[in-house]
A and B are shown apart, each in its own frame.
Chain A
Amino acid sequence: MKNILFITCLLVLGSTRFSIAQLEGKQFLSGSAGINFNNSNPASLSATHNYSYNFDISLGKFKSETRAVGWRISNSLGGRKMIYNIYNGSQVEQYEHNGISRFGLGLGRFWHFYKHFNAKMGIYGGPEAGLSFLNTKEYSIENNPESLIERHIQKIQLSLGLSAGLYYAFSEKWWVTASLAFANPVSVDYSFNRVRNVMTDEKNKGNDLTYRFSPVFNFPSVGLGLRYFYNR
């Protein structure tokens, strides 16, 4: 009998509906950010470094207790100082590159559906449509003969995706969010490629179109973010 009572207690507790604070009509600002800096100073070579940051900001509104829509903007930038030693016949030529190597901008519209477990926690998920632009300038060393190749790529991408996450409300106005899964099943991108051999200045141009449909989820892609309700 004790056992049954215990189970009953557990089940009753487990199914209790907690009252949820009113969310309808509330507006929020959500964001996540990251920075990175790296410096390396070898004994016999000159120092190199790289740095990057990325952030995204969402502006959303709860249309009902369980549905929110909004816009998301994202930006990322990366740069570095790199030194390449190329063996050109019998002598070594040194090339140095300093500056921004990656710059990205994105704009997205999202629709999130919520399941609130209790007053403090819940999960959300939903579709997102996005447009992004990415500009990269990368260097690589190629053999036969050894040469330094510069690839300058400008890419425009249209995508439809799904994302899911978890939230924890630690106060009325502040939530912490964690993204749990991400899928980008549909995407189309167009890129403009400029390839240059830095040593001979030989240039090559090309464009390409890439399209994809793949119903695949990426797990885990945990990213933490903060959310602030500014009219709550």
Chain B
Amino acid sequence: MKKYLLITLLAVLGLPGPVQAQLQKGTKYLGATVSFNGRYIPGNGSNPKSGASEFTIDPSLQAGIFFKNNVMAGIGIGSSNYVSKSWYKDGATIQEFRNSQNTFSLSPFIRHYKTLHPKWAIFLNTSAELAFLNMRSKGIEYKDVTNGFSAGIRVVPGITYWITPRFAIESDISLLSLESGYKDFQKTKSIYFRSGLSSSINSYFSVRASWYIQKTQ
């Protein structure tokens, strides 16, 4: 009697079962986000003419598969690229300076989900962060290239909101992240351990578009 009452209740109110359809074993996952910003400063008319521009783009892509209910394994690739250029014209000669900083990262991850509501879930993302760092500068008669790498572990919680059963927007709560690692760049070896709370960045949530693709049965 008790059991029937409970089951009926659950059915009537449409509460989620123990595993949400999107988080079942076998579901494939794809997530992507991008942000960019730039600045252009034209010459000011007086001689010598000069100008500058800069551009930053940060794309990232994640793919994964649920190997257990509520647990996903995946891999993320991303980059952060900054290019700046400045020039000035003195008579017929143009002098140009270029500078770029690039980070290419590869991050295998495991993500544990907990459903809160048919449309909401929270997750904990644990990832290994491997990155290749590169800096280039180029002037009139010089060219300089510096390479480096970093490796670390990062744990960050996040939220998912399903707009449709397949499509969701999600956000890592960087404010609560923990990370630790090793970096070798510009002839400096460094070890870091940091929590999001101690960073100077304001509390922000960067948003990612994601798709939960299930096998058609």
Contact = CB atoms under 8 A, between A and B. Distances in A.
**How big is chain B's contact interface, by range?**
20 to 34
A210 B39 contact: yes
Interface string B28-42: 000001111111111
Contacts of A211: 37-39
Interface string B179-209: 0000000000000000000000011111110
A42 interface: no
Interface in A207-226: 207-220
Given A11-B13, A15-B13, A213 B37 contact: yes
A1 B6 CA distance: 11
B36 A214 contact: yes
B2 interface: yes
28 contacts: A1-B2, A4-B6, A8-B9, A11-B9, A204-B44, A205-B44, A206-B41, A207-B44, A208-B40, A209-B39, A209-B42, A210-B39, A211-B39, A212-B37, A213-B34, A213-B35, A213-B37, A214-B206, A215-B33, A215-B208, A216-B204, A216-B206, A216-B207, A217-B171, A217-B206, A217-B207, A218-B202, A218-B203
B5 interface: yes
A208 B2 contact: no
A139 B204 CA distance: 30
Given A11-B9, A220-B203, A214 B42 contact: no
A11 B35 CA distance: 42
B35 A207 contact: no
Contacts of A4: 2, 5-6
Query: Interface size class for chain A?
Result: 20 to 34
Interface in B32-63: 33-42, 44-45
Contacts, number: 67
Contacts of B171: 217
Contacts of B2: 1, 4
B36 A207 contact: no
B204 A218 contact: yes
A217 B171 CA distance: 9
Given A4-B5, A11-B9, A11-B13, A214 B202 contact: no
Interface string B47-83: 0000000000000000000000000000000000000
A161 to B, nearest CB: 13
Find the residue from A4, A204, A215, A219 having the highest chain B CB count within 10 A. A215
Given A211-B39, A215-B35, A217-B205, 8 more contacts: A207-B44, A208-B41, A209-B39, A211-B37, A215-B207, A217-B204, A218-B203, A219-B203
Contact of A206 (B36, B44, B203): B44
Contacts of A209: 39-42
A213 B36 contact: yes
Interface string A1-34: 1001001100100010000000000000000000
Nearest to B50: A206
Contacts of B38: 210-212
Most buried by B among A15, A205, A219, A220: A219
Contacts of B44: 204-207
